[in-house]
């Protein structure tokens, strides 16, 4: 791909061939020199050919190959002339992360850390096909799909205030359970309150550094503090909704009168019946994922209280924010000097809204949206804050994590002969996992250096560093 360097952190993929807009990649020169970046760069160019795309096809520094869109890809489409694509959202719809703080510091939990991690591992189902204790009838499941986090809170899983600290209040209001398949509903009935597999995790961390004291104070973060992070999504229900939608759109797109550079970019016009059907089905999966993380946070809080032998006031577990990574949303953005409603696809990317934005609660509107960037289980994670520059350049978006550099097969090969769990324990990190290959596939070396990824978005100004978190206990799916 022909790349033009704009500045230290931005690179333009020149408009050529069928591209309707250029590409814009946020990365360092060293990141782009890697041979594994060529395929995702091609995907950036492919996305730029889609009808109705606005300004540019964007990619974040955690960019790597994905289905259709690159993971780390962002694209906004005009509502009248644009498309919506399941490949621009991904199979794990609303795979996301939530961060909670506590009033505890590391030395208070270190003596009981192993028992705490073991209890989280026992108490929250994890792994491929894992099923939870919440069994739903189909009518009740449809309520979850319509209500999202609100359903969970009404069932006693958390506090009403959690909704103010969740993206979209934990509910996309356009969700329509009647458009999804019986197979999707069946897959979702027994998986609420479960972690899943792959890169999903529950992580106990410690705030290691604070970079922006005022934002940290507003978010409730202080050095030495114990935190809880949960990374999971919409489980089998979301996967099935994506699979069903792709099966239909792969045939439907042939009738639309334009050529796709990649069949994985199967899509529908946003305002068409097929486009609205996918958007409303996707919203169901998004709501399921928010309810799922809400329930797991409540379960985790109960485990903390029991294992540490403290009361709710002493623990004071409080949700900082819940952000989604794989989503398409209709949002208002300035395009060519005018406010316009567009459909923003964020695939492996995080919303990064600035101070003053109406989508934020009164508390956060002063400083901007919390942005949570998990790393691998052996290094660090970061809390950032959204910026006005993100609104101007990336439709209010930033990176979502470290980004893989090794496939799962390559990671397993590279880890042969190593005891990853013992290596982590030597660093003071206790880890529990399901599946024989999980730790090998998710070893730290399988990912980019999250600190370098974060430095790109911070340096580019599309989100700014607030705090760094160090893992001390991890449960892997």
Query: Distance (Å, rounded) from C-alpha 368 to C-alpha 355?
Result: 4
**pLDDT given at position 2:** 85
For residue 64, list its beta bridge partners: 71
Catalytic residue among 64, 231, 345, 400: 400
Regions of the chain short of the pLDDT cut 50? none
CA distance 89 to 236: 15
CA distance 451 to 215: 19
Domain ranges of the chain: 3-80+92-476
**Whether 79 contacts 342, CB under 8 Å:** yes
pLDDT in tens, 169-218: 999 999 999 999 999 999 999 999 999 998 999 999 999 999 999 999 99
DSSP-assigned letters across all residues of 360-427:
S-HHHHTT--EEEE---TTS-EEEEEE-HHHHHHSSSEE--S--BSS-HHHHHHHTTT--HHHHHHHT
Q: What is the pLDDT of residue 408?
A: 87
Say what the pLDDT of residue 470 is: 97
400 is catalytic: yes
State what percent of residues in the chain have pLDDT above 70.
100
**Predicted pLDDT of residue 245:** 97
Q: Which fold has domain 3-80+92-476?
A: tRNA-splicing ligase RtcB (3.90.1860)
Question: Would you list the DSSP string of 268-330?
Answer: EETTSHHHHHHHHHHHHHHHHHHHHHHHHHHHHHHHHHHHHT--HHHH--EEEEEEESEEEEE
User: What are the pLDDT digits (tens) for 309-362?
Assistant: 999 999 999 999 999 999 999 999 999 999 999 999 999 999 999 999 999 999
Res 256: pLDDT: 94
Predicted TM-score (pTM) of the model is: 0.97
**List of residues 6+ apart from 397 with CB closer than 8 A:** 58, 60, 74, 344, 346, 349, 350, 351, 352, 390, 462
For residue 469, the model assigns a pLDDT of: 98
**pLDDT at site 289:** 98
């Amino acid at each position: 791909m022909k790349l033009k360097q704009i500045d230290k952190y931005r690179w333009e993929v020149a408009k050529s061939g069928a591209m309707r807009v250029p590409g814009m990649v946020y990365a360092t020169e060293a990141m782009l020199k890697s041979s594994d970046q060529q395929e995702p760069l091609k995907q950036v160019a492919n996305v730029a050919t889609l009808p109705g795309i606005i300004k540019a096809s964007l990619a974040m520094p955690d960019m790597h190959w994905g289905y259709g869109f690159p993971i780390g890809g962002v694209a906004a489409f005009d509502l009248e002339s644009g498309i919506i694509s399941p490949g621009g959202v991904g199979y794990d719809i609303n795979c996301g992360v939530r961060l909670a703080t506590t009033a505890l510091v590391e030395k208070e939990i270190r003596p009981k850390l192993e028992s705490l991690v073991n209890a989280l591992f026992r108490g929250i189902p994890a792994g491929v096909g894992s099923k939870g204790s919440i069994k739903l009838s189909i009518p009740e499941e449809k309520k979850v799909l319509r209500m999202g986090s609100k359903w969970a809170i009404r069932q006693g899983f958390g506090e009403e205030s959690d909704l103010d600290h969740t993206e979209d209040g934990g509910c996309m209001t356009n969700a329509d359970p009647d458009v999804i398949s019986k197979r999707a509903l069946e897959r979702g009935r027994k998986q609420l309150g479960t972690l899943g597999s792959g890169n999903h995790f529950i992580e106990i961390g410690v705030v290691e550094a604070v970079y922006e004291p005022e934002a940290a104070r507003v978010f409730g973060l202080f050095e030495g503090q114990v935190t809880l992070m949960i990374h999971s999504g919409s489980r089998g229900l979301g996967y099935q909704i994506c699979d069903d939608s792709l099966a239909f759109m792969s045939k439907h797109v042939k009738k639309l009168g334009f050529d796709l550079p990649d069949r994985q970019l199967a899509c529908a016009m946003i305002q068409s019946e097929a486009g609205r059907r996918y958007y409303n089905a996707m919203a169901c999966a998004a709501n399921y994922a928010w309810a799922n993380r809400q329930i797991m946070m409540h379960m985790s809080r109960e485990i903390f209280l029991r294992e540490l032998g403290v009361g709710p006031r002493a623990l004071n577990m409080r949700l900082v924010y819940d952000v989604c990574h794989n989503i398409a949303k209709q949002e208002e953005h300035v395009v060519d000097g005018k406010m316009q409603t567009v459909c923003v696809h964020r695939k492996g990317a995080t919303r990064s809204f600035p101070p003053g934005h109406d989508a934020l609660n009164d508390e956060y509107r002063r400083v901007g949206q919390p942005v949570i960037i998990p790393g691998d289980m052996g290094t660090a994670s970061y809390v950032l804050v959204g910026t006005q520059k993100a609104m101007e350049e990336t439709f209010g978006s930033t990176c979502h994590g470290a980004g893989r550099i090794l496939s799962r097969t390559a990671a397993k090969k590279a880890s042969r002969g190593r005891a990853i769990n013992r290596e982590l324990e030597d660093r003071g990190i206790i880890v529990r996992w399901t599946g024989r290959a999980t730790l090998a596939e998710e070893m730290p070396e399988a990912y980019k250096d999250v600190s370098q990824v974060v430095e790109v978005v911070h340096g580019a100004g599309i989100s700014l560093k607030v705090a760094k978190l160090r893992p001390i206990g991890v449960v892997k799916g």
